[in-house]
Amino acid sequence: MNNCKIMAMAAAALVLSGVPTLAQDSTKTAPRLTIGGYGEAVATRNFYSGHFNRYRFPEQHKDDNSHGQFDLPHVVINIGYDFGRGWTMGTEIEFEHGGTESAVEIDADESGEYEAEIERGGEVGLEQFWLQKSFGPKLNIRMGEMVVPVGAVNKHHMPIEFYTVYRPEGESSMLPCTWHQTGVSVWGQVGKLRYEAMFLSGLDAERFGADCFVKYGAASPYEFKIANSYAGAARIDFQPIGGLRLSASGYCGTTFNNTLKSIGTKYEKVKGVLTIGAFDFQYRRSNLTIRGNALMAHLSDADEITAFNKNFPTHVGQDGSPSKHQPVASDAATAGGEIGYNVFGHIERFAAENQKFIVFGRYEYYNSMLKGTNAAAYEWCEKQRIALGINYYPVPEIVVKAEYSERFFKSPYNNEPSVSVGVAYCGWFK
């Protein structure tokens, strides 16, 4: 494969993940109109109970039948345009799970009632829409809806950037994923260091929960995102040597009273300050790739937020709210790592055609109720997970994945093994 094609593929991967390349800033090297995207189709067989009360009464469900599912986790269309004189535009339209962004779920904390959940208003998700002015490699200003680059998964969320069939569970189960919000971002590349700083609206504590921590806090059931509270996010990527990337990211913002409902005087001093610190890295050498990540988060006033959310009526139709009516942790954490080896790198014919057959393993720990008043009643929120599998790339833009995975819990909860297969693509069409 020639160098131009390799560079184009690398640029496509970065653009799709919301990371502009230097080529985007130059009308001399980049096409004015770019169209691309990525998509995933997955089948899974879960060899554990799917009952909503399997954590509340684990002994009653340890011998339940297995269950399967087919899914389209993410199908995305990206369109970009270079207007010239340093002005560019980027959009990303995403269809999650086939699509309307509304779903019915069974909630264990509400006696197994069916609930219609609206994750974001509308039938499709506009995950990115931004305009950018580039003053050169060292300084770029971006305004609009964009990816919040906190953690490993939000920054590297495309199917060719992780080995598991689904996105790594730790961060994606506790943070918005892909986390996108409207704001202003300043970013640039200085030597081997890339920086980004972002100003955006705060999350909504009304949508926090025990098993999801702050995952749904960026969503809004309205035609707008409430911005009574504000936040900042930042990320630094450093490449000291070839093949090694070291990254640190963080977030800080208030989350309480970021809603339309009046909070009253009882909660007037509650802020719900959310702070997140994260580190991730990637090391590539020859046919070996190693990735790792760790994240800690702290939410102040977690007990007060829990009490406030639980005071809402259960049903939205009775002056209720989108709240999960669950306790919220004051602290949450996750850490994980994966290692993959390209077996085809030793076979000349496949290497010449740029085919890859990667054998991988992944381990991760995550706990959305690491610390809090109600943590003892939600010990099932502490999980360890292993995944062993393969990735086959017939061409660089397409990957076929298969894995065996298992979640491990403390006694008396039952472990959760599963087998998954999937196919995904990621690339530019124009």
pLDDT digits (tens, 9 = 90+) for 56-115: 999 999 999 999 999 999 999 999 999 999 999 999 999 888 766 555 555 555 555 545
Pairing mode of beta strands 125-136, 113-118: unpaired
For residue 265, name the pLDDT band (cuts at 50, 70, 90).
confident
In whole angstroms, what is the distance from residue 19 CA to residue 13 CA?
9
pLDDT at residue number 264: 72
CB neighbour list of residue 377: distance below 8 Å, 6 or more residues apart: 327
CB neighbour list of residue 83: distance below 8 Å, 6 or more residues apart: 89
Reply yes or no on whether the pLDDT at 146 is more than 90: yes
The kind and range of the H/E element at 285 are: strand 273-285
In whole angstroms, what is the distance from residue 202 CA to residue 272 CA?
10
pLDDT at residue number 71: 93
Joined together, the tokens standing for residue 22 give 């230097």
* Nearest Cα residue to 201 out of 186, 183, 213: 183
Percentage above 90 pLDDT, the chain: 73
pLDDT digits (tens, 9 = 90+) for 165-217: 999 999 999 999 999 999 999 999 999 999 999 999 999 999 999 999 999 99
pLDDT at residue number 258: 85
Q: How far does Cα 107 stand from its chain's mean position?
A: 22
Mean pLDDT, range 131-148, rounded to an integer? 97
> What b-and-e string marks burial along 109-132, b requiring 16 or more CB atoms within 10 Å of the CB?
beeeeeeeebbbeeeebebbbbeb
| Alpha-carbon radius of gyration of the chain | 22
Q: Which residue type sits at 199?
A: F
DSSP string, 122-166: SSSEEEEEEEEEEEETTEEEEEEEEE---SHHHHS-SGGG-SSSS
Report the predicted TM-score, pTM, of the whole model to 2 decimal places. 0.87
3-state secondary structure of 263: coil
Bigger pLDDT: 314 vs 406 = 406
Which segment of 141-155, 230-244, 321-335, 350-364 scores lowest on mean pLDDT? 321-335
pLDDT at residue number 317: 47
Domains belonging to the chain, first-starting first, are: 3-428 (2.40.160.10)
How many Cα neighbours within 13 Å face the side chain of 18? 29
pLDDT at residue number 10: 38
Residue 251 vs residues 111, 200, 207, 274: alpha-carbon distances, Å: 35, 10, 18, 8
pLDDT digits (tens, 9 = 90+) for 23-57: 344 434 667 999 999 999 999 999 999 998 999 99
For residue 315, name the pLDDT band (cuts at 50, 70, 90).
low
- By the 8 A CB rule, do 280 and 151 touch? yes
